[in-house]
Structure 1
Amino acid sequence: MTPAPPLGRPVRLVLASASPARLATLRAAGVEPVVVVSGVDESQVQGLAPAELALRLAELKCSAVADRRAAPAGSLVLGCDSVLEIDGEAYGKPGSPAVARARWQQMRGRPGVLHTGHCLRDTGSGRSVSATASTTVHFAQLSDAEIAAYVATGEPLQVAGAFTLDGLGGAFVTRIEGDPHNVVGVSLPLLREQLAALGHSWTGLWAR
């Protein structure tokens, strides 16, 4: 017996992010997005709580791509941004070895909360939905030597919170509470809900 085809008309997703981890996560889930980098200056947003900051930056990235009509007509534009919360403070990309080293000295042996803001806009209807997914991450008790070796790889310098779950940093995360995809940079369950709110289906995103 031939299985029924997936429900939902095909629709194109535009990822307003340069993150290779987000792109890889979507591709692994059957989605082949068009990547259009937003060019948003993340430093322009200050003074917000970590979850609010992640959401505001995601909205700015989505708007930057949708408003300049850089996305194909009738597509869905997804803006995402992630920050790590430790002691109520928001931490994005460390940018330098010294900052990454200091971050890990603070994080080791402790939990943090990884917030990822998601803003999805339907360029056809003009409607958009925004939400933040949060996942608690428990970090291993790293030695100074391990921190130095990890920072020397360069991996933690350009990722939110100075760690990865899907790369070299995976060995330094002892457990998580919540959606693991969210830690990588895009919550697939949340994106599915946002699609439904705009009248689209998750299976309609699958590459044919």
Structure 2
Amino acid sequence: MGAVAGYRIILASGSPRRREIMTRMGLAFTVVTSGVDETVESYDDPPDFALQLARRKALAVAATGAVAATGAAAGMEAAAGTAAGFARDALVIGCDTIVELDGNILGKPTDEQDATRMLRALRGRTHRVITAVVVVHDESGTDLGRSTTTAVTMRDFGDDELAAYVASGEPFDKAGSYAIQGAGGALVAHYDGAYDNVVGLPADVVAALLRDATAAASSHRPSAG
């Protein structure tokens, strides 16, 4: 996809999976982590909850003043609050991925027992993976978002397989305690929807939102001359 009409792109996420997807898309971007608390509190609608959290992450980065006004190599990471100035012309991408089962949100596990509990709940059943993406542009006030849902059905795996997977350590920074792109993919029977959405960033949605945000932001730019 390359550069986006002269706008810098900021990814408000430290996820290596999201970074890989953005790089695969051919985007030049800078990573600035938001530091937003992802604790699940009260919510009425899981997709709306994911959108709210993704928006909070994007706005938090936009508010830090942490993005230098100069260009950066693809995937370069900056600590919030350390750069010299803020690029108000940047498109900031906030993301959040949640796993929902029976109306309950399964976040990242706190320990082995929590990961085991989640995987037992998911075993042999179908759950929803919801990823929300929000793109904000500070200078124009542009704020666009969309959530995408993929239905994932897990195998009826045994306790030994579950225990071995938890012991591998892979579940511990993953919503729902598994990584479909890693060893956790062996626990999945099938899925209906976008694979990248389960990994944590639907590339087609990112591309569409960047196009729309670029058009919206450009419409607020003063005419030359």
With the shorter chain as reference, the TM-score category is: 0.7 to 0.9
User: Which segment is superposed worse, 39-48 or 19-28?
Assistant: 39-48
Cα gap change, 1:26 to 1:171, in 2 (>3 Å): same
The equivalent of 1:146 in structure 2 is 161
CA distance in 1, matches of 2:185, 2:11: 24
Q: Which runs of 5+ in 2 are unaligned?
A: 69-86, 216-225
Query: Kindly, what percent of the aligned residue pairs are identical?
Result: 35
Partner residue of 2:115?
A: 100
1:42 aligns with 2:52: no
Q: How far, CA to CA, are the matches of 1:115 and 1:30 in structure 2?
A: 24
> Does residue 14 in structure 1 map to residue 10 in structure 2?
yes
Compared with structure 1, are the counterparts of its residues 62 and 191 closer, same or farther at alpha carbon in structure 2 (3 Å cutoff)?
same
Q: Which residue of structure 1 lines up, in the alignment, with residue 22 of structure 2?
A: 26
Residue in 2 that maps onto 1:197: 212
Structure 2 residue 129 is the aligned partner of structure 1 residue 114: yes
In the TM superposition, residue 45 of structure 1 has moved relative to its aligned partner by 4.4
Report if the CA contact (8 A) 1:12-1:75 is conserved: yes
Query: Could you tell me which residue of structure 2 aligns to residue 64 of structure 1?
Result: 60
Matched, 1:159 2:161: no
Structure 1 counterpart of 2:55, one-letter code? E
* Bigger relative CO (Cα 8 Å, ≥ 6 apart): 1
**Which residue is 2:193 aligned to?**
178
In structure 1, the partner of 2:97 is 82
Distance apart, 1:154 and its partner CA = 1.0
TM-score (norm 1): 0.87
1:6–1:54: structure 2 CA closer, same or farther, 3 Å change rule?
closer
Task: Kindly state the Cα deviation for residue 71 of structure 1 after the two structures are TM-superposed.
Answer: 2.7
**1:174–1:112 Cα change, 3 Å:** same
- Matched residue count: 196
Instruction: Report the AA paired with residue 84 of structure 1.
Output: V
Instruction: Look up the equivalent residue of 1:36 and give its one-letter code.
Output: V
SS of residue matched to 1:170 = helix
CA deviations 1:86-143 (Å, max 9, x no partner) are 0111111012100100111111111110011111012342311011111111111111
Aligned mates of 2:151, 2:106 — CA distance in 1:
14
- Does the CA contact (< 8 Å) of 1:138 and 1:176 recur in 2? yes
Contact 1:61 1:80 in 2 (8 A): yes
Whether the 8 Å contact between 1:49 and 1:89 is mirrored in structure 2 is no
